[in-house]
Amino acid sequence: MCGAELKNLPEGVQRVAAALQTLNHPHMPQMLDDAARTAQQAADALGILVGQVAKSIIFRRKSDDVAVLVVTSGDRRVDEKKVEAHVGGKIGRADADFVKSRTGFSIGGVSPVAHATPPVTLIDQDLLRFDVVWAAAGHPHSVFPLHPSDLQRLTGAPVVDVVQAPVEASAQPAV
């Protein structure tokens, strides 16, 4: 992307594109026709498995009001107790105002990079199941592709186990 192309993008996407360029990431943000505010919407728009969506979830660390970013697979649920063990304290849900003020992004478009204030970041190991994942790029209509290991390079965050155990089909109750 050149400078002229960037000026036509939403401000958050411009920040993400600039960060990706600075970090020598080979793929720039792509704008989607429809919003991808949820992992399922993103997967549908991209024609991929929901697990290939690298969803960004922001929590609030209660002791110091720091943002905690958990990047996990779209088909997994975060285990808050596991996150607390990694970040050294209790966490709580973050409302839209907190997310916007700390990250500079609206919910549904939170990128793993280019935050207004750097968060404490954790990357879930389940993302490594895939060769390519897609992350939000600063706007609900924007995403970018990457290899899951690139998340660690781009963010400097550790890869850890922070999700609930997936429910096996045989373990589900019969209907």
Residues near 94 by Cβ (< 8 Å), separated by ≥ 6? 58, 59, 60, 67, 102
pLDDT tens by residue, 3-37 = 445 567 899 999 999 999 999 999 999 999 988 88
pLDDT tens by residue, 117-147 = 999 999 999 999 999 999 999 999 999 999 9
Residue 84 CB-density burial (10 A; 0-12 exposed, 13-18 middle, 19+ buried):
middle
pTM above 0.75, yes or no: yes
Quick one: fold of 3-163? YbaK protein (3.90.960)
Is pLDDT at 148 greater than 90 in this prediction?
A: yes
pLDDT of the residue at 151: 94
Buried b (16+ CB within 10 A) or exposed e, 9-45: bbebbbbbbebbeeeebeebbeebeeebeebebbbeb
Q: Is residue 166 very low, low, confident or very high in pLDDT (cuts 50, 70, 90)?
A: confident
Q: Is 45 left (phi over 0), alpha (psi -120 to 50) or beta?
A: alpha
